[in-house]
Structure 1
Amino acid sequence: MTDTTTAPEIPRSAIVTAMVLIVGGLAVIFDATIVSIALNTLAEDLRVSVSTIQWVSTGYLLALGVTIPVVGWAQARIGGKRLWMIGLIVFLVTSVACSLAWNAASLITFRVLQGVGGGVMMPLMATLAIQQVPAGANLGRLMATVSLPAALGPILGPVVGGIILTWGSWPWLFWVNVPFCLVGLALAWRFLPADGPPSRVKLDTVGLLLASPGLVGILYGLSNVNKDGGFARIDVWLPTVVGVVLLVAFALWALRRPDTALVDVSLLGRRAVGSSSAVLFLSGASLYGSMLLLPLFFQVIHGSDPLGAALLLIPQGVGALLSRTVAGRYTDLIGARIVAIVGFVVMGLATVPFALADADTGTVWLMVVLLIRGLGMGAVMIPVMSVAFVGLDRAEVPHASIITRLAQQVGGAFGTALLAVILESSIGGASTVEGRVHAFGTAFWWAVGFTVVATAICFALPSRRSVN
C-alpha cells in the first residue's frame, strides 16, 4: 500500500460523488430497515398470514440476488451515471407503487421490482466513488463517507418505522423514500461525472444463467430456515445445494474467460479482495444476525414494545457513527489489518454481556455495551471495505464491488438463518423466563463465535505495505 505521505490526494470530485450517492443510498438502506419491523402489521392489515407477507422481504432479497451480478456489465454498457439514475427512478416509482398496494400480492410484486432498483444501486455506491480516485490513493476516509447510509439505516430506520406504525399507517413506510429519491435524482443529474461513450461489451449470458439463479437458490433456501424443521426442510437444503452447485459452475466458467465474464471471480485470487470478502461474509453474519437477536431480546426478555426496542438500539448506531471517521483515518495511516482486528475484538467483547444477560440486567448497562459494540462495528466495516479496492484498475473496481457486496449479503442471510434456527430450537421448549434467557444466551454466544472467526481471518488482510 502506498505510504500515506506520498499517496495522491482524494480529489474533490470523489468527495462530491460520495456525498451525492449518500442521499440516494439512504432510501435503499432506510427501506430495508423500516420494512423489516412492519411484517406483523402488514399481515394484519392485508389479512394474510405472516408466512405470506414474509415474501415482502424475501422477494426483495431475491430480486437483489438476480440484479447485483449484472451491474458491472450494465455500467459498462449504459454508463455509471445513467445506471444510477435509472436505479433511483425504479426505486422511486416502486416505492410509490408499494404505498398504493391494494393487497398482499400487489405489494409483494412491487417489492420485487423495488429490489431490482436497490440491486442496481447498492454495488454502484462504492464503484462510482472509487473510480474517481487516482491509483495509489488511500481509501479509508472516502469509504467512511460512502458507507454512511449503512451506519445510519440501523439507527434511524427501526425508529422511523416504529413511529410510523405507532401513530400512522403502513403506506407511509414507503413514502419515506420519496424525498430521498427526488433529491438524490436532482443531485445526481447536476453533480455526478458525465458518462463516457458506452461500451459494446456483450452480456455473458451463460454466466448470468448460472450466477443469478445460484444466488437466488442460496438466498431463498436460507430465508426458509426459520420455519419448522430448520435446515432439514427440503425447501431449505435443496435450493441451497442447487445454488451452491450453480455458483461453483459459474466460477469455473468465469475463470476461463476473465475478460468477458459477468463477474471476474479471478479477483478473489488477489489477497486484498479474497481476504476482505471472507471477512465481509462473517461480518455480515454477525451484523445481520445480531439485528435479529437484539430487538427480540429486548422484547421477549425485557418486555419492550417494537418502538421501545428500536429506541434502545440507538446507542449501537451512535457508536458506529462515532468511530467511522477515526477508523477511516487509521486505516489510511496503519492499514486495514490492525483496525479491523481491533474492531472485531471490541465487537466480540461487547456481545458477551448479552450472552450473560437476563431479565434483571440493567437497561442502562446494556445501552452502554451497545454503544461500545457500535464503536467496534464502525471500526470493522471501513477498513474491510476499503482494502478490497486497493491496487485495482478502474475496470476491475465494479467486479470487486459486486463480489464484496454479495459476500456481505450472503453472509447476512447465512448468519440470520443460523441464529434464527439456534434461537428457535433453544426457545421452543422453554416455558420459563430462565429457559428463554438461556436460549438467547446460546444464540449470542454463536454471534460471538462469528466475530472470533472473523478476527482470525483478519490476519490475512494485507498489511499497510503489502496488498497482493
Structure 2
Amino acid sequence: MSAPVPAAGATAAPRSLYGVAAVIVLGSLTTVLDTTIVNVALGPLAREFGAPLTTIQWVASGYTLALAAVIPATAWAIGRFGSKRLYMLALTLFTLGSALAGLAWNAETLIAFRVLQGLGGGMVMPVGMAIILQAAAAEGKQGTLMSILGLPILVGPVAGPVLGGWLVDEVSWRWMFFINVPVGAVAVALAGRVFPPDRPRPGRRLDVPGLLMLSPGLAAVIFGLTRASEGGGGFADPGVAGPVLIGAVLVAAFVVRGLTAAEPLIDLRLLRHRPLAVGAATLFLFVTGYFGSMLLGPMYFQDVRGTSVTASGLLGAPLGLAAGITMQITGRMVDRVAPRLIVLPGVLLAATGLTAFAVQAETGTPYPRLGLALAVTGVGVGMVMMPSIAAATRALAPGDAPAASTLLNINSQVAGSIGPAMVSMVLAGQLDGQARAADAFQHTYVWGIAALAAAALPALLVSARRPARPAGQSAGPKGQPIGAPARVRSEEAVDK
C-alpha cells in the first residue's frame, strides 16, 4: 500500500495522543449526530416545505448515501493529500454543507445540501481512525484510544433524537444544522494545531474502475434497503430488488478486483490477516443487530407507551451512558487482556440485556426495569465495539492503517443500513398481523437479538492471547506482506 506514514520524528507523545483523540471525537461527533438528529424532524420538515414524507425521507437517506459513496476513496485520498490535510478538508466541507442546509429554502435544496454534508462527513471518521492508528502504533495504545474514538458512535444514536427533538420543539429545525458550524470550525482549527504532521505519498493512482464499482454498488444497495423500509412490498418490489441486485453485482465485481488487481482501491488481501477478518465479521453482525434495535426503541416508547419524542430519547439514555462508561474501561483493558475475554462476554451480555428488554416491552412495564435492561445491553455494547476494532487492527503496519480503517468503516456503514431496514420491514409486517402493537415490537426485537447473538460465532475466533508492545516500537517496514515477523507482535503471530 502507498498510504502515508508519519514523518520522521512526528510520532505523538502519549499526552499529545489524547489531544489528537479529543479533536477527532469532537469532529466525529458532529457527523455521527447528523445521521440520527434529522430522523425526529422528518414530520415537521414535511409540513414546513409542504412536501410528501417520501420526498423528505431523502433528507436522511441522501446523507447516508453520500457517506457510503465517498468512504471507498478515503485510503487513496490520504495518500494523495495526507491524513491531516484531508481531515481538515473533509470537516470543512461538512461544516459548509451544514451552514447551507440551515439556509435551505425548499425540500430540494435541503436534500442537495445534505448530500454535500455527507460527502465531507463520510471521510471524517475513517481518516480520524487512520490518524489514531498511525499515531498510536508505536505506543501500544490502540485499545485506549479506540475507546475514546468510539464515543461518538455510541452517543450519536442516543443524543441525536433528544437534541433534534428539543431543537425542533423549542428553537428551529434550522439549528439542527447551524449547531454544527461553530463546532466544526473549532475542530478544524484545533486539528491544524495538534495533529501530528505527515506527508502525502501520491505515488499510487486512484483505482477508478474499483471506485466506479464500489461506490455506486454500495449506494445502490443502501438505496434499495431504504426503499424496502419505506414501502410495504419488501424485496418483492422491483424498486427494491432491482437496486439491491445491481448493487450486489457491482460489489461482487469489486471484491474480485480487490483480490486480484495490483493496486486496488482497497486491498482486500488485508483480510488474509486473521484478526482483521474476524473483527470485521464480528462487527458486521453486531452492528446490524445493534442499530436495528436502536431504531425500535424510540418507536416503542412513542407508539406503545405514548411518550413524546424528547422523552423517548431520554428513556434510551441508559444504554448510551452504560456503553460509554464501559468502553472507557474495556478500551484500556484490551491493551493488556486477551481480546476474546472482553468481546465474547460482551456479545452475550448485549444479547441478554436486549432479550430482557424485549420480554418486558409491554404497555405497563415500569420504566426503571426497562432502563436496567437497556443498561445491561449498553455494557455489552461497550465491551464489543471498540475492543473489536483495536484487536482487529493492532498488528497491522502503520502504512496499512488507512485501508484497514476504510474497510472497517464501510463494513459498519453497510451493517448500520441493513439493520434498520431489516427491522423496519419486519415491524411493518408484524403491525399488520398483530392485534397489539406491543406484540409486534416484541416479535420484531427477536431479529435484532438474533443478529447480536450470531456475532458470538466470529467472536470465538478473536485472539485469546495477551497483546504486547510492537517489537522495537515499530510495526515493521511498509511493503512487507501481512504475516512478516517484523510487522506482527510475536504472540499474535500464532493466531494467524
CA contact (8 A) 1:10 1:134 kept: no
Amino acid at match of 1:115: G
After the TM superposition, which residues 22-37 of structure 1 pair with which residues of structure 2 at under 5 Å, given as runs?
Answer: 22-37=25-40
The percent identity for this pair of structures is 36
Instruction: Give the structure 2 partner of residue 159 of structure 1.
Output: 162
In the alignment, is the contact (CA less than 8 A) between 1:162 and 1:307 conserved in 2? yes
Quick check: 1:354–1:444 contact (8 Å CA) kept in 2? Answer: no
Alpha-carbon distance between aligned partners in 1 of 2:31 and 2:338, rounded to the nearest angstrom: 30
Q: CA deviation at 1:68?
A: 0.2
Do structure 1's residue 298 and structure 2's residue 278 form an aligned pair? no
| 1:215-254 to 2 correspondences below 5 Å | 215-226=218-229, 227-254=231-258
**CA 1:9–1:22: 2 relative to 1, 3 Å:** closer
Partner Cα distance (2:279, 2:200) in 1: 32
Residue type of the alignment partner of 1:39: L
Q: Secondary structure at the match of 2:461?
A: coil
Q: Deviations over 1:175-199 (max 9, x none)?
A: 1111210110110111111231442
Whether the 8 Å contact between 1:216 and 1:243 is mirrored in structure 2 is yes
CA contact (8 A) 2:65 2:223 kept: yes
Q: Which residue number corresponds to residue 428 of structure 1? A: 432
Which of 274, 285, 289 is the aligned partner of 1:286? 289
Q: Is 1:445 matched with 2:446?
A: yes
- Rounded to whole Å, the distance in 2 between the matches of 1:23 and 1:195 is 21
Instruction: Tell me whether 1:340 sits opposite 2:350 in the alignment.
Output: no
Task: Give 1:257 deviation, angstroms.
Answer: 2.5
SS of the equivalent of 1:236 reads helix
Aligned to 1:172: 175
Name the SS of the counterpart of 1:33 in structure 2. Answer: coil
User: Which consecutive unaligned segments of at least 5 residues does structure 1 have?
Assistant: 1-7
Structure 2 letter corresponding to 1:203: L
1:276-312, Cα deviation, whole Å (9 max, x unpaired) = 1111111211121012100001111111111110111
One-letter identity of the residue aligned with 1:133: A
Letter in 2 for 1:238: G
Give the drift of 1:136. Answer: 7.6
Is the 8 Å Cα contact of residues 321 and 378 (structure 1) preserved in structure 2? yes
SS in 2 for 1:34: coil
Letter of the aligned partner of 1:423 in structure 2? Answer: L
Match of 1:54 in 2: 57
How big is the shift at 1:335?
A: 2.1
Displacement of 1:243 after TM fit? 1.1
User: Where does 1:370-389 land on structure 2 (aligned, <5 Å)?
Assistant: 370-389=374-393
Shift of 1:200: 3.0
Structure 2: unaligned runs, 5 residues or longer:
1-10, 466-490
* Residues 238-292 of structure 1: CA deviation (Å, up to 9, x unaligned): 111111111111111121225x111111112211111111111112111210121
Quick one: distance in 1 between partners of 2:170 and 2:456? 43
Aligned length: 457
The Cα offsets for residues 142-165 of structure 1, whole Å up to 9 and x where unpaired, read as: 101112222222332221111111
Cα shift at 1:135: 4.7
Deviations 1:187-215 (A, max 9, x none): 01111112314423211111111111111
Residue in structure 1 matching 2:371, options 367, 371, 374: 367
Q: Please, which of 198, 208, 213 is the counterpart of residue 211 of structure 2? A: 208
How far off is 1:47 after superposition? Answer: 0.8
CA distance in 2, matches of 1:13, 1:248: 41
Cα distance in 2 for residues equivalent to 1:241 and 1:144: 36
Bigger shift: 132-141 or 436-445? 132-141
* 1:462 CA drift (Å): 2.1
- In the TM superposition, residue 353 of structure 1 has moved relative to its aligned partner by 2.3
The one-letter code of the counterpart of 1:425 is G
Alignment counterpart, residue 324 of structure 1, candidates 323, 327, 331: 327
Contact (CA 8 Å) 1:276, 1:387: kept in 2 or not? yes
Instruction: Output one character per residue of 1:29-78: Cα deviation in whole Å (capped at 9) or x when no partner.
Output: 12222112211111111111111101111111111111000010001001
How far off is 1:9 after superposition?
Answer: 11
- 1:69/1:262 contact within 8 Å kept: yes
Letter in 1 for 2:119: V
> Measured at CA, do residues 442 and 157 of structure 1 come closer, stay the same or move farther in structure 2, by a change above 3 Å?
same
State the partner residue of 1:188.
Answer: 191
Aligned to 1:404: 408
CA distance in 1: counterparts of 2:378 and 2:37, whole angstroms: 19
CA distance in 2, matches of 1:209, 1:412: 22
Alignment-mate amino acid for residue 97 of structure 2: T
> What is the aligned partner in structure 2 of residue 257 from structure 1?
261
Shift of 1:354: 2.7
Residue 170 of structure 1, CA deviation? 0.6
Q: CA deviation at 1:423?
A: 0.6
Residue 131 of structure 1: SS of its match in structure 2? helix
User: TM-score, normalising length from structure 2?
Assistant: 0.89
Deviation at 1:119, TM superposition (A): 0.8
Check whether the contact 1:315–1:370 (CA below 8 A) recurs between aligned residues. yes
Superposed CA RMSD: 1.6
| Cα deviations by residue, 1:58-116 (Å, 9 ceiling, x for unpaired) | 11111111100001000100111110011111011110000000000000000011100
- Tell me if the contact between 1:423 and 1:439 (Cα under 8 Å) persists in the aligned partners: yes
Q: How far off its partner does 1:233 sit?
A: 1.2
